[in-house]
Amino acid sequence: MSTHPLIDSLRPPVATILDTLATAEARYCLGEATTFEPAKIHAAWPDIFRPDTVTALRTAGLADGAGRPFVGLVLQALIEAETAPLHAGIAEREKAVTVTDANGTRMDLARARRLAARDAAAPRDHLHELYDREVAPLWLEAQQRRLAVVTAAGYRDLIDYADRVQRHDLGRLEREARGFLDSTRVRYESIRRPLFAAGPFTVAQLIGAARTTFADPVDLATCLPLLRLLVSELGLEFAPRIRLDLEARPGKVPGAYCLPVRVPDDIVVAVSAGGGVGDCRPLFHEVGHALHFAYTGSELPVDCRRMGDEGLVEGWGVVTENIFLHRGWLDRSFPGRTATALGHDTAQRLLIVTRAQCVRLLFAVDAARRPTTPAELRARYDQLMAEHLGARPGPIEYLDVLCGDFVSATRLRSWEFGTSVAHLLAHEIGPDWPGDPRAGRWLREHWRVGVSHTATEAIDRWAAPQVSLEAVAENLADNMINS
Ligand SMILES: [Zn+2]
């Protein structure tokens, strides 16, 4: 933990800023406020959110070490300030420009895009033209401004920024993604081929069509008691730090998410039940985040409590989500036929999702290296989707990926981390580690340090199995029923 005077001087204001942001976000997500505008909160701290902060950290030799979380925070805010007007412009155009579907119904671009993302048979060619003309230039301008902010701060390009500030190691991930796509191709094709001919489907449609139906109920009502049992068997507790907010209500943002309002003292896990297994795995994932935050040492400075490597933060969610890939736990939690089907369904879904994220990563890295016109970028993305998934992307998916700040890298790293930690626990505690209080003690001890290391540093320090997507692929294969 750094005690450099510059870092020490940044910690108190940054702690206040992050608490203010988290409180505002939680109020918005839980339906207690109608807006969440981080830019306004950033604007109240002009002394922190300016290029000089990054320069000072660099001059002090801290930008790649203890100062990295602060560099990331400041640059993210500067990027948001630069790109917010463009994003507002995109939203306006998506509402203002309208299209007519095959039945003669007029709708705005945003709605047409959502329909096309769900249904590859929706008319797309005209949408592409409209997007290329009306919207893509704004997206690409946003990407240019993002690049301008990071190069002005001394990074070579977006890849250099992602590697040094976000710690993605994109070159390694590219190799891992290629390896994963190769080694899981046959299995993927065995899922895809019976459901869709190559071409006229989207990944969302494939996931929907591949979904298993279970002989016994698998929903929030069955999984919540299982989660409570798991947590208590591990010797862990929700109260008093973690609140579960599981009711759907008007104004509450739908989906599953964890809101670390105060780390470690006030953590909310929110799920708006949609029915079925789709509520369960996300609930376990979010509770992984919540437990990590709630068991983080309260004495740690802000940068070790809540400004960490996203791959590590997400990875802890994967550790608990992947309980749905643990044979022993599945077998003692569900009737036999459902236990097997649930493991299979979880693995199959994750296989499709991971392949899609591999494609996104390859595309995003390539586009950062070789920028070009919207039409050419779209063609490259379509080509990768066709080659590795046999699917068709939604109309501006490629722009979403491009401007998505390498989210795919975070996702891929989190699956690697979650898989490595599960192997370590199986080795240190035994194959039946879920529900073993010794595993709970191990987790508590490793959560205590919060986010004071990156995912890779943690794996090295604990001598856990090396992170790799090949290990993720093997874990998935172990759970799939061969057909
Ligand atoms: Zn998560």
C-alpha 411 – ligand 1 centre gap (Å): 9
Spatial contact of 316 and 459, defined as CB atoms under 8 Å apart: no
Question: How many Å apart are CA 55 and CA 53, to the nearest integer?
Answer: 5
Among left, alpha and beta (phi > 0; psi -120 to 50; other), residue 97 is beta
C-alpha 135 – ligand 1 centre gap (Å): 30
C-alpha 412 – ligand 1 centre gap (Å): 12
Residues 265 and 359 in one domain: yes
Residue 261's domain spans which residues? 175-479
C-alpha 466 – ligand 1 centre gap (Å): 21
Question: How many Å apart are CA 357 and CA 413, to the nearest integer?
Answer: 11
Residues 420 and 468 in one domain: yes
Tell me the pairing of strands 98-100 and 266-271: unpaired
Number of domains in the chain: 2
- Please list all protein residues whose beta carbon sits less than 5 angstroms from ligand 1, which is an ion: 314, 317
Residues 162 and 179 in one domain: no
C-alpha 212 – ligand 1 centre gap (Å): 23
C-alpha 259 – ligand 1 centre gap (Å): 10
C-alpha 310 – ligand 1 centre gap (Å): 9
Spatial contact of 324 and 342, defined as CB atoms under 8 Å apart: yes
Spatial contact of 56 and 154, defined as CB atoms under 8 Å apart: no
Q: Is the dihedral of CA 105, 203, 406, 399 positive or negative?
A: negative
What own/partner pairs with CB < 8 Å and gap ≥ 24 does 422-426 have? 422/319, 422/322, 422/326, 422/475, 423/464, 423/465, 423/471, 424/462, 424/464, 424/465
CB proximity list for 44: less than 8 A, separation 6 or greater: none
Question: How many Å apart are CA 53 and CA 21, to the nearest integer?
Answer: 19
Spatial contact of 416 and 467, defined as CB atoms under 8 Å apart: yes
CATH number at residue 328: 1.10.1370.30
C-alpha 407 – ligand 1 centre gap (Å): 12
pLDDT of residue 2: 82
C-alpha 285 – ligand 1 centre gap (Å): 6
C-alpha 265 – ligand 1 centre gap (Å): 19
Residue that finishes a domain, picked among 167, 190, 208: 167
Spatial contact of 271 and 30, defined as CB atoms under 8 Å apart: no
Residues 237 and 360 in one domain: yes
Residues 209 and 259 in one domain: yes
CB proximity list for 398: less than 8 A, separation 6 or greater: 363, 377, 378, 380, 381, 382
Residues 150 and 257 in one domain: no
Tell me the pairing of strands 266-271 and 106-108: unpaired
Residues 81 and 226 in one domain: no
C-alpha 283 – ligand 1 centre gap (Å): 10
C-alpha 315 – ligand 1 centre gap (Å): 8
Residue that finishes a domain, picked among 127, 142, 167: 167
Question: How many Å apart are CA 111 and CA 95, to the nearest integer?
Answer: 9
C-alpha 316 – ligand 1 centre gap (Å): 8
Residues 95 and 213 in one domain: no
Helix, strand, or coil here: 267? Answer: strand
Residue that finishes a domain, picked among 140, 167, 194: 167
Q: Is the dihedral of CA 459, 465, 466, 472 positive or negative?
A: negative
C-alpha 196 – ligand 1 centre gap (Å): 30
Tens-digit pLDDT profile for the chain (483 aa)? 788 999 999 999 999 999 999 999 999 999 999 999 999 999 999 999 999 999 999 999 999 999 999 999 999 999 999 999 999 999 999 999 888 877 788 888 888 888 887 776 666 667 888 888 888 899 999 999 999 999 999 999 999 999 999 999 999 999 999 999 999 999 999 999 999 998 788 898 999 999 999 999 999 999 999 999 999 999 999 999 999 999 889 999 999 999 999 999 999 999 998 889 999 999 999 999 999 999 999 999 999 999 999 999 999 999 999 999 999 999 999 999 999 999 999 999 999 999 999 999 999 999 999 988 888 999 999 999 999 999 988 878 898 898 888 999 999 999 999 999 999 999 999 999 998 999 999 999 999 999 999 999 999 999 999 999 999 999 999 999 875
Residues 435 and 288 in one domain: yes
Residues 284 and 328 in one domain: yes
C-alpha 98 – ligand 1 centre gap (Å): 35
**What dihedral do alpha carbons 397, 402, 408, 413 form, nearest 10°?**
170
Q: Is 206 exposed, middle or buried (0-12, 13-18, 19+ CB in 10 A)?
A: buried
Question: Which residues in 160-209 belong to E strands, given as ranges?
Answer: none
C-alpha 166 – ligand 1 centre gap (Å): 16
C-alpha 317 – ligand 1 centre gap (Å): 5
Residues 149 and 183 in one domain: no
Residues 98 and 218 in one domain: no
Q: Is 371 exposed, middle or buried (0-12, 13-18, 19+ CB in 10 A)?
A: middle
Q: How far is residue 283 from each of residues 225, 318, 433, 472, measured CA to CA in Å?
A: 12, 11, 20, 21
